[in-house]
Chain A
Amino acid sequence: MSARNRIFEKLRQAMRPASAEALPDVRDADVYRDYPSDPASLFELFKTRLEELRGEVYRVGDEVAASDKVVELADSVGGSVMVQPGEPMASLLPGLAERLCDRLVDAAAVADSADFARVEVGVTAADFLIARTGSVLLRTISSGGRRLSVLPPFHIVVARASQMVPSLEEALNGLKGLSPDWSYAALITGPSRTADIEKILVLGAHGPKRLAVVVVDAA
């Protein structure tokens, strides 16, 4: 008998009947005191929460302004920029490639993880913005893979205001409704941090030292 079968045998022998009572259907709104009740306030709450964690939040009126903002942010650190190829970035950030010129690193040219060493800024889209926790939820196929959002020291997320949801529950429900061909999703709440030495907070432990979220208003 294989280990698998032996374990299953032990599990089955150990089983006791589950409680007949159905699990209560509890929603985030019932559990969390800080669940945002007013849909109009979602952006403000998202901004407050993420800024508390020293993330940066910018709201821009349209795609052109989003491009401006990304260029401005990239300029603030200098170095090479890598943008997630294809849609939705092409339409979210029109003309970005021309404006960044030779600072733009072609994603196709960065195969090896070692090549990433020269990328200072990673620009990606996201699937959901979560107001209650100030989080960003992204999948590999919506954000240019596993590395682009974690290896470069500065991660810029560009998303539409319509992607904002009140709480984790809605984001996870939404994730179920999206195309399932992904192997990896990350729920990101602020720049990388540690407090392993004397409980003192330090940003940029291994992941990005800076996280900026650019929220585009226009539909």
Chain B
Amino acid sequence: MQEPRAFLQRAAAKTRDEEHRLKILKAIDTYTRVVEQRKHTQFRDWRQARQLAARIKDDVLARLPELLQQFEERITARGARVFWAETAAEARQYILDLVARRQARVVVKSKSMTTEEIGLNEALQHAGVDVWESDLGELIVQVAGEKPYHIVTPAMHKNREDVARLFHEKLGAPLTQDVEQLTMIAREHLRHAYVSAEIGITGANFILAEEGAIVMTENEGNGRLTMACPPVHVVLVGLEKVLPSMRELALFLPLLATSGTGQQITCYNSIVRGPRQPGEPDGPEEMHIILLDNGRTELLAQPEFQHVLRCIRCGACLNACPVYRTIGGHTYNTPYQGPIGSVITPHLRGFRQWYHLPFASSLCGACSDVCPVNIDLHHLLLWNRHRAVEREHTAAPGWRLAMKLWAWGMRRRKRIALLRPWLRLGTKLLLPLLPGAQRRRVPSMAEHSFARLWRDHERQKSHF
């Protein structure tokens, strides 16, 4: 089935699923309460802080070649290898070659949406490698055979009963609905993975040009263990994630934590400048950094879209989006869901299959309002719609004709009056035929136009 059609079907099914909706609302309500409070208690002026962050990222985007080169030089000087991947396939192949060279049978991963973007788990499993997701939420969706539901909270759609059943059935754990015990099951289950894995794979939240470092932010410690125990550490990171220096972390770490989870700062932030150095007691022998393009330079080349590369993947726009909350993360069928996903996916994966995503929005602007780097997301969604129409990827047959008629009609008052009775009849007959119309109240056009009502009103007034 075509992706746009499948999207509509999934969306319709999820929208009707009340249990799903309750789980999501509960999680997002908790999130929103904590985040709004934290913005206020931590920042003097959150809006000013985000404007500063946007300025810094824009400055970075204007200096990307220089900063990336600086990063590469400095981290390479300490023995790390930097690989530039133009496409997802190149990034996958580099990791597969590394797996073959190291004869790795077990790989441990910490949460990384960029590895989802390149379909790494499937490629590794296909090559016969045991892949262990170590973040609790990621482990839950991996065990369930699903994809992450949300870029920050991958198992948002699972409650404790769901997790208890999964861990019992798939991991052979005793049945318990105690959240702490469920977490300890995951802890014990993964201890072995850190110790036995030949390769640890992580993402990165930031690249520091001046220090030649990557920064990874997390709460559980699974990322730290993934970078500490296995003899090889691989980092997969989008090339836009650069900051000029460590100094900027003083703003970006609290900003990301506040928007991501409502924390002041996340529990662990790791700054990594290479593999084990002389004089250090441990750490990996090899460190590889894969700088991924995969469509990012195309976004950068378009003046309307380049600001989207400010994104720090905090997930705030997903939580704020009324459409995301209704149709759920899996409906998007993309590694990045919600407003940010609907902005970048058509560019990263092609409009032909993904043009429908920007239409899954009410354009209410809640996403732009919460964005910690001030990305004008809802206008970018509108730009994507424009692009989709321009390239004739529009949804319904006759859409363009209808739009042309609409544009013609709307230009003159008289034309509206001319079309009005036909529109009224048309909507009365056609709207109830739309999918889902049985479940909601179909709006009907008023009997008389506002112009007519006004005229009558004025006429009556003149009678007195």
Contacts and interface: CB of A to CB of B under 8 A. Distances in A.
Interface stretch (A4-12, A36-44, A66-74, A94-102): A4-12
Interface residues of A, number: 76
Interface in A53-71: 53
A186 B254 contact: no
A24 B246 CA distance: 16
A145 interface: yes
A195 B150 CA distance: 14
A103 interface: no
A14 B300 contact: yes
B247 interface: yes
A19 B281 contact: no
A208 B276 CA distance: 22
A183 B64 contact: no
Contacts of A15: 62, 64-65
B136 A18 contact: no
A4 B195 CA distance: 34
B253 interface: yes
B279 A181 contact: yes
Contacts of B158: 197
Interface string A16-34: 1111000110101011111
Interface in A108-130: 112-114, 117
A206 B220 contact: yes
Given A6-B86, A7-B86, A194-B220, A183 B274 contact: yes
A202 interface: yes
Interface stretch (B113-121, B259-267, B358-366): B259-267
Interface stretch (B39-47, B325-333, B440-448): B39-47
Given A18-B59, A208-B221, A10 B297 contact: yes
B220 A193 contact: yes
Given A190-B267, A192-B219, A31 B274 contact: no
B84 interface: yes
B43 A193 contact: no
Given A3-B84, A175-B246, A193-B267, A198 B297 contact: no
7 contacts: A13-B301, A14-B301, A26-B251, A133-B264, A196-B154, A197-B159, A202-B183
Contacts of B265: 133, 135, 168, 187, 189
A104 interface: no
Interface string A187-219: 111111111111110101111100000000000
Given A169-B247, A181-B279, A199-B31, A207 B58 contact: no
B62 A184 contact: no
A140 B266 contact: no
B179 A202 contact: yes
A26 to B, nearest CB: 6
Contact of A14 (B190, B276, B287, B297): B297
B271 interface: yes
B247 A173 contact: yes
B283 A32 contact: no
Contacts of A175: 246
A3 B85 contact: yes
Interface string B70-85: 0000000010000011
Contacts of A141: 279-280
Contact of A199 (B30, B85, B195, B267): B30
Most chain B beta-carbon neighbours within 10 Å: one of A13, A33, A181, A206 = A206
Q: 7 shortest A-B CB distances, which residue pairs? A: A207-B221, A18-B62, A205-B220, A146-B228, A10-B297, A196-B137, A145-B281
Interface stretch (B48-56, B342-350, B417-425): B48-56
A202 B297 CA distance: 40
Contact of B282 (A12, A17, A31, A145): A145
B110 to A, nearest CB: 9
B65 A196 contact: no
A34 B42 contact: yes
A183 B247 CA distance: 18
A206 B62 contact: no
Given A146-B283, A147-B282, A188-B267, A200 B179 contact: yes
B55 A185 contact: no
Given A7-B293, A182-B273, A197 B225 contact: no
Nearest to A107: B281
Given A172-B247, A172-B250, A197-B155, A187 B31 contact: no
B63 interface: yes
Contact of B283 (A49, A183, A191, A196): A183
